[in-house]
Every structure is written in structure tokens, then in C-alpha cells.
């Protein structure tokens, strides 16, 4: 209902200016107009609410009701407003409850059914050259030769969904995998590799490391305990950075093997992402130092080059430094992030020409990003009209509130976690089939349990307020009841069931003769029409759980309607009207599941 909302707002503004705001108060008006019309605090209050009379009462020293009376009178006299609104009711101390006309709502339903985005408008924001805006979403980003852990899983799922929502709104989205493929740890990895596979070094293709994580642990142990190994590892870093052929080859080998493991997970989760690791920004690191020097922001402290951060202090109350270059000349994680940020905002061809960068990592990196963003701002690297957002998320815990572990106390591998979910989904499905004495093909069983298993893990993550920690429970996420993926899928399956039973041709559904009388029909209509507003608010605050909460409510509203209102066994015009609501619910649900990266099912 964004379009109607805008139309309402514009007309309210005009009338407010004409009839209530005196010239000398124009400044106050600027503040008021931002919150002129709001979502109602309760559903039964109507479609929208206008609360400004309370603010105006303070400015003009009159009672809010008096102001509201006058305002409503002017509003009602306006033709455009009376075309849109059924009722403008003054409630409480002076709120105005806005109820839209039925025919306006029905027109919206009809137009949303035809719209491929179920009524979600394309963003009209354009960049300076009047092109669609480009957003970089930096997510997933595991580290080479290390385990891709549950934190990376959260980043992957949340980042993918943010990307999908922005794509739907018409942005060009560049999904970037900022993998940790550079840094001093490669010195020890390559040295260990050279020691273990000395006879294969001529034929590097023959080297297969069976377990990269074990390999990482072994080299770390040697690095910590063997003096001579440590020394050679340090020399190896220099070799690698100066582009030594053999070192580079071995580095590539490590990256390739890691990549294969990451790709398996991306395939299972159906994630599209472009790899552009830390190493990519190597050529741009030096100019970071030069530019910060030029702008006189860089300060040398005990041999290291740093920027001291405003407003961020350590325990002793001293300003925290962001170290840009270490004493030994090496660069840091933060240096790479600064170079990456600059590159992403830079114009093509030597940059991405983005107008917004979104970083999805765990909460533990909040200070890192606050520091990086501050330095970038002070160095003027964030162009006008451009923004950066860190999207932090909490930890995944076991049901006991502790770190997620296997029964044996080991950290859980992502692969195992996903297959466990699929396995449990399959067990549930088989039980259901037995209870209902249904028989299904093996293909059906495999596909259904895969969709439910993966969907449940994704949804459990996305439906949480991402900032808080969440407790991982297969039982809860796979349950058919509650705010879960299986519950949403089940609602979708119900609608497919209606469609299968209905023998009326599709095109009849868009018929003109739509009308509604039942209270539960209107509840569903109003819920359906909130879809676009939910997505638009997510674009701003990047809280995906808003969409999940909305979907849960939509499904509950639909299921109440389904339970109480006959759909197929009624006279033709009612049937058409109700099938229209089923069709729009189906469309909204399918599209939303797609936005969450979850596949749909017609039967389950």
C-alpha cells in the first residue's frame, strides 16, 4: 500500500500547511512531516494513524482534540482524501484513526495479483548518473584452511537474504565473499606444506591434503613450539609477498582446496556469491598509507602507524588506535578493509561504483567496523550520498545456552549440521506418511526432506532478531507449529491443495466481480496489503526478522480464514473472490520464501 500511503501523506501535508501551520512555524512542520502518518498501534484502530495533533497542541497551546476536530473537518472536505478514506475517527486524546475505503483495498489486491513483485514497488533511488544504485553486500567470508563455522553460516544466510531483498527492489547487488586468503598465517602453512610434501613439490597437482583443518592445527602447533620453524615461516611470508613462484603456487593450492569445501556448502544452501578475497586488495594497501599521511591522520606509535579513534577508548580511557601498518611493515585486517571500502566506492573500471556497502559479520567485529568507518569518514573516502552499514549478529548456542557442540563435545561441522537437519526432516516425513497411510516415491521423500531440512535451518536463523544470541534446536525449527519454515510451507501446501481441487480455469480469478463480506476476509486483505511496507522498512534497518514475523502473521491470518470461511463450495462470485485471496497469499508467500532463500513445496 506504499502508493496509497504516499498519496495520503502528500494530501495530509497540503491540508496541514493550508489550514493549520502558520508561516512562522514552517520549521516545526519539517519535523512533523517525517512522522505524519504511522502504522496503527493496534489492528482494530484502522489502516493508519495520524498522531500529530498531540505535537501541534504543544506548539499552539490548544487541546489536541480541538486541533484534531479542525483538521479532520478540513480533511473530510478534501475530495482526494474522501475518495481514499472511509472514515477519519478521532480517538483518545486526539489521535486520528484512518480507515481506507473497501474499493480502494480491493483495487490494491487486484493490482498486486498482477504485479510480479506482489505489489512491492521498485526503488526510485538512482545514482548521480541516473542509473540504478549499486549495493555491495559483503557476507559469508570464511578463512582459507580454517573451518567454516556457524558464525559464517549465519553471515551466509543473512547476507544472501539481504541481497535478495535489495535485488527485488531493483538495486544492482554485488555479493562479495571477502575470504581470508592473505596474511601471515600463510607463512606457516606453506612452510609446513613444504616439509610434508617435499618430494611432490615438482608436481604440485599431486598434493591432496585430506583434512585442511587438521593441517592448520598441526602447522600452528609447530609455529608455537619450534623456533626454527617459526623463523622459516616468517621468511616464507616475505617470499610470498614478493611473488616467489613456488610460494604462490602453494598458496593457490591451499586456496583451491579450501574453496572446494566452501563451494559444497554454498551448493547445499543455493548461495550465489563472488569470491574476492583479501589478497585482491594487496596492490591498493600502499596508497592507504600515503593518503592517510597526506591528510595528516596517521600517527607513528611505538614503530606502528595508527589512527587514534575519536570517542573510542581502551580500559584506561586512552583513545584506541586502529593499526594501519605494523612495526615490521606488515599490514592488518583493518588496512585491507580500508582498501576494500575505497575500491568499492571508487568509480569503474578501478572500483565498483557502489553507493552502499553492507557488511554482515558477528557482533564481535562491531568495534573493528566502527573504527574502519570512522577512519574512512575522516579521510573522506565515503562519497556524498553513500553509506556503509555493519549488520552485526549474535552467537548461535546449544539449547543449554552454551556454545553449540556435538554430544561428544566437539565443534559441529556445518556439513554435518545441515545433513542432520535433513535426516530429521526425513524421519518426521516418514512418520507422517505412515500415519496418513500415504505412499510417496523415493524422489519425493528425498526432495521434500531436503527442502524442509535446509529451509528450517535458514528460517530459524532469519526469524530471530539477529542482534541477540539464539539457541539452536532442531526440534523447534522442524516443528509444524509455531514460527517455523515447516509451518509456512504447510500453509503453502494447503493453498496448492485448494488449487488442485478447484476445477476453474486460472484467468477467471482476475474477474471484476470481486466483493467481500466476511470479517476474516478483510483481516486477510489488510494483512496482505502490508507486504510492501515490511520490505521497504527492511531495506533501511536490515532486520530480516520483520519479514518472518509478517509471514507468520500472514499464515495465521490465512489459516483462520481457511478454517472458518468456505472457499470452493459457495456461489461463483464468492468463490472467485476468495480464490483471489488464496492466490495473492500464495504469491506473497512464495516470493517471500524466495527472499529468504527457501525453496517452496506443493505437497509435503
Interatomic CA distance for residues 392 and 360, integer angstroms: 6
Shortest spacing between CB 178 and ligand ARG, in angstroms: 4
Q: Which is nearer to ligand ARG, 139 or 472 (CB)?
A: 139
Shortest spacing between CB 393 and ligand ARG, in angstroms: 12
Q: Which is nearer to ligand ARG, 258 or 448 (CB)?
A: 258
For residue 447, what are the CA distances in angstroms to 475, 476, 489, 490, 595?
Answer: 20, 21, 14, 15, 20
Interatomic CA distance for residues 167 and 134, integer angstroms: 10
Shortest spacing between CB 158 and ligand ARG, in angstroms: 13
Contact (CB, 8 A) for 174 and 352: yes
Interatomic CA distance for residues 97 and 71, integer angstroms: 13
The three three-digit cell numbers of residue 297, written as one number: 591522520
Shortest spacing between CB 361 and ligand ARG, in angstroms: 5
Q: Which is nearer to ligand ARG, 179 or 555 (CB)?
A: 179
Residue 359 touching ligand ARG (CB under 6 A): yes
Shortest-Cβ-distance residue relative to ligand ARG: 141
Shortest spacing between CB 416 and ligand ARG, in angstroms: 20
Q: Which is nearer to ligand ARG, 32 or 176 (CB)?
A: 176
Please identify which residue in 11, 51, 97, 143 interacts with ligand ARG, judged by CB under 6 A: 143
Residue 119 touching ligand ARG (CB under 6 A): no
Residue 236 touching ligand ARG (CB under 6 A): no
Shortest spacing between CB 346 and ligand ARG, in angstroms: 16
**DSSP label at residue 146:** S
Residue 183 touching ligand ARG (CB under 6 A): no
- Which residues lie across from 405 on neighbouring strands? 411
Q: What's the number of CA atoms in the CB half-sphere (13 Å) around residue 281?
A: 30
Q: Which is nearer to ligand ARG, 190 or 340 (CB)?
A: 340
Q: Which is nearer to ligand ARG, 11 or 361 (CB)?
A: 361
Name residues contacting ligand ARG, limited to 312-351 (CB under 6 A).
337, 340
Q: Which is nearer to ligand ARG, 143 or 233 (CB)?
A: 143
Between CA 557 and CA 560, with CA 558 as vertex, the angle to 5 degrees is: 65
Residue 159 touching ligand ARG (CB under 6 A): no
99 phi/psi in degrees, rounded to 5 = -115, 125
Grouping H, G, I as helix, E, B as strand and the rest as coil, residue 469 is coil
Interatomic CA distance for residues 288 and 335, integer angstroms: 7
Residue partners of 325: CB distance under 8 A and separation at least 6: 289, 304, 305, 331, 332, 335
Shortest spacing between CB 364 and ligand ARG, in angstroms: 8
Shortest spacing between CB 14 and ligand ARG, in angstroms: 46
Residue 186 touching ligand ARG (CB under 6 A): no
Interatomic CA distance for residues 318 and 302, integer angstroms: 15
Residue 160 touching ligand ARG (CB under 6 A): no
| Sequence-ordered alpha helix ranges (H) in 270-356 | 285-294, 333-345
Q: Which is nearer to ligand ARG, 7 or 362 (CB)?
A: 362
Q: Which is nearer to ligand ARG, 250 or 360 (CB)?
A: 360
Residue 356 touching ligand ARG (CB under 6 A): no
Residue 138 touching ligand ARG (CB under 6 A): yes
Shortest spacing between CB 347 and ligand ARG, in angstroms: 20
Number of residues that bind ligand ARG (CB under 6 A): 10
Between CA 418 and CA 428, with CA 424 as vertex, the angle to 5 degrees is: 145
Interatomic CA distance for residues 359 and 411, integer angstroms: 25
Please identify which residue in 64, 180, 321, 371 interacts with ligand ARG, judged by CB under 6 A: 180
DSSP character string of 71-109: HHHHHHH-HHHHHHEEEEEEETTTEEEEEE-HHHHHHHH
Q: Is 236 left (phi over 0), alpha (psi -120 to 50) or beta?
A: alpha
For residue 96, what are the CA distances in angstroms to 8, 14, 75, 321, 369?
Answer: 13, 17, 11, 52, 43
Residue 51 touching ligand ARG (CB under 6 A): no
Q: Is the dihedral of CA 148, 153, 155, 157 positive or negative?
A: positive
Cα dihedral 127/129/132/138 (nearest 10): -60
| Region from 23-31, 140-148, 165-173, 433-441 binding ligand ARG, contact rule CB under 6 A | 140-148
| Region from 141-149, 184-192, 451-459, 574-582 binding ligand ARG, contact rule CB under 6 A | 141-149
Q: Which is nearer to ligand ARG, 141 or 279 (CB)?
A: 141
Residue 361 touching ligand ARG (CB under 6 A): yes
Shortest spacing between CB 397 and ligand ARG, in angstroms: 18
Residue 178 touching ligand ARG (CB under 6 A): yes
| Region from 38-46, 139-147, 182-190, 499-507 binding ligand ARG, contact rule CB under 6 A | 139-147
Contact (CB, 8 A) for 343 and 284: yes
Residue partners of 498: CB distance under 8 A and separation at least 6: 567, 568, 579, 582
Q: Which residues bind ligand ARG (CB under 6 A)?
A: 138, 141-143, 178, 180, 337, 340, 359, 361
Amino acid at each position: 500500500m506504499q502508493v496509497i500511503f504516499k498519496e495520503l501523506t502528500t494530501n495530509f501535508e497540503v491540508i496541514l500547511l493550508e489550514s493549520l501551520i502558520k508561516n512562522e512555524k514552517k520549521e516545526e512542520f519539517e519535523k512533523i512531516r517525517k512522522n505524519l502518518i504511522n502504522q496503527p498501534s493496534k489492528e482494530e484502530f484502522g489502516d493508519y494513524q495520524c498522531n500529530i495533533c498531540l505535537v501541534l497542541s504543544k506548539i499552539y497551546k490548544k487541546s489536541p482534540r480541538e486541533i484534531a476536530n479542525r483538521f479532520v473537518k478540513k480533511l473530510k472536505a478534501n475530495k482526494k482524501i474522501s475518495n481514499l478514506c472511509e472514515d477519519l475517527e478521532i480517538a483518545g486524546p486526539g489521535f486520528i484513526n484512518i480507515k481506507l475505503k473497501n474499493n480502494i483495498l480491493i483495487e490494491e489486491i487486484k493490482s498486486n495479483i498482477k504485479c510480479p513483485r506482489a505489489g512491492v514497488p521498485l526503488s526510485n533511488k538512482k545514482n548521480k548518473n541516473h542509473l540504478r544504485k549499486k549495493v555491495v553486500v559483503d557476507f559469508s567470508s570464511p578463512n582459507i584452511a580454517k573451518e567454516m563455522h556457524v558464525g559464517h553460516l549465519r553471515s551466509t544466510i543473512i547476507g544472501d537474504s539481504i541481497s535478495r531483498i535489495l535485488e527485488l527492489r531493483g538495486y544492482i547487488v554485488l555479493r562479495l565473499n571477502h575470504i581470508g586468503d592473505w596474511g601471515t598465517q600463510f607463512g606457516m602453512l606453506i612452510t609446513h606444506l613444504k616439509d610434508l610434501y617435499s618430494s611432490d613439490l615438482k608436481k604440485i597437482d599431486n598434493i591432496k591434503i585430506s583434512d585442511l583443518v587438521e593441517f592448520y592445527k598441526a602447522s600452528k602447533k609447530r609455529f608455537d613450539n619450534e623456533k626454527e620453524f617459526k623463523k622459516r615461516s616468517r621468511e616464507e611470508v616475505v617470499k610470498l609477498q614478493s611473488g616467489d613462484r613456488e610460494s604462490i603456487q602453494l598458496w593457490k593450492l591451499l586456496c583451491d582446496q579450501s574453496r572446494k569445501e566452501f563451494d559444497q556448502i554454498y551448493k547445499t544452501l543455493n548461495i550465489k556469491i563472488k569470491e574476492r578475497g583479501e589478497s585482491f586488495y594487496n596492490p591498493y594497501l600502499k596508497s592507504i598509507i600515503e593518503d592517510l599521511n597526506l591528510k595528516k591522520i596517521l600517527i607513528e606509535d611505538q614503530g606502528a602507524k595508527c589512527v587514534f579513534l575519536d570517542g573510542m577508548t581502551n580500559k584506561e580511557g586512552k583513545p584506541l588506535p586502529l593499526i594501519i601498518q605494523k612495526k615490521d611493515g606488515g599490514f592488518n585486517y583493518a588496512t585491507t578493509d580500508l582498501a576494500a571500502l575505497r575500491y568499492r566506492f571508487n568509480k569503474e573500471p578501478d572500483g565498483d561504483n557502489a553507493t552502499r556497502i553492507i557488511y554482515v559479520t558477528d557482533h564481535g567485529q562491531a568495534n573493528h567496523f566502527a573504527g574502519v568507518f570512522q577512519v574512512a569518514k575522516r579521510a573522506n573516502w565515503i562519497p556524498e550520498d553513500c553509506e556503509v552499514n555493519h549488520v552485526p549478529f549474535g552467537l548461535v548456542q546449544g539449547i543449554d545456552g552454551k556454545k553449540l557442540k556435538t554430544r561428544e563435545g566437539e565443534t559441529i561441522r556445518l556439513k554435518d549440521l545441515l545433513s542432520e537437519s535433513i535426516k530429521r526432516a526425513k524421519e518426521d516425513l516418514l512418520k507422517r506418511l505412515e500415519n496418513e497411510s500415504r505412499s510417496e516415491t523415493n524422489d519425493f521423500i528425498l526432495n521434500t526432506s531436503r527442502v524442509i531440512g535446509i529451509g528450517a535451518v535458514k528460517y530459524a536463523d532469519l526469524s530471530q532478531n539477529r542482534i541477540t544470541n539464539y539457541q539452536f534446536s532442531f526440534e523447534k525449527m522442524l516443528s509444524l507449529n509455531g514460527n517455523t519454515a515447516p509451518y509456512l510451507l504447510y500453509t503453502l501446501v494447503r493453498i496448492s491443495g485448494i488449487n488442485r481441487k478447484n476445477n476453474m480455469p486460472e484467468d477467471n480469478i482476475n474477474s471484476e466481480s470481486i466483493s467481500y463480506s466476511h470479517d476474516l476476509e478483510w483481516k486477510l486483505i489488510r494483512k496482505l496489503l502490508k507486504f510492501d511496507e515490511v520490505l521497504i522498512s527492511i531495506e533501511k534497518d536490515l532486520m530480516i526478522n520483520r519479514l518472518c514475523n509478517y509471514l507468520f502473521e500472514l499464515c495465521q491470518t490465512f489459516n483462520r480464514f481457511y478454517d472458518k470461511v468456505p472457499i470452493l463450495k459457495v456461489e461463483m462470485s464468492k468463490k472467485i473472490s476468495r480464490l483471489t485471496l488464496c492466490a495473492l497469499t500464495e504469491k506473497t508467500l512464495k516470493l517471500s520464501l524466495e527472499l529468504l532463500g527457501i525453496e517452496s513445496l506443493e505437497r509435503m
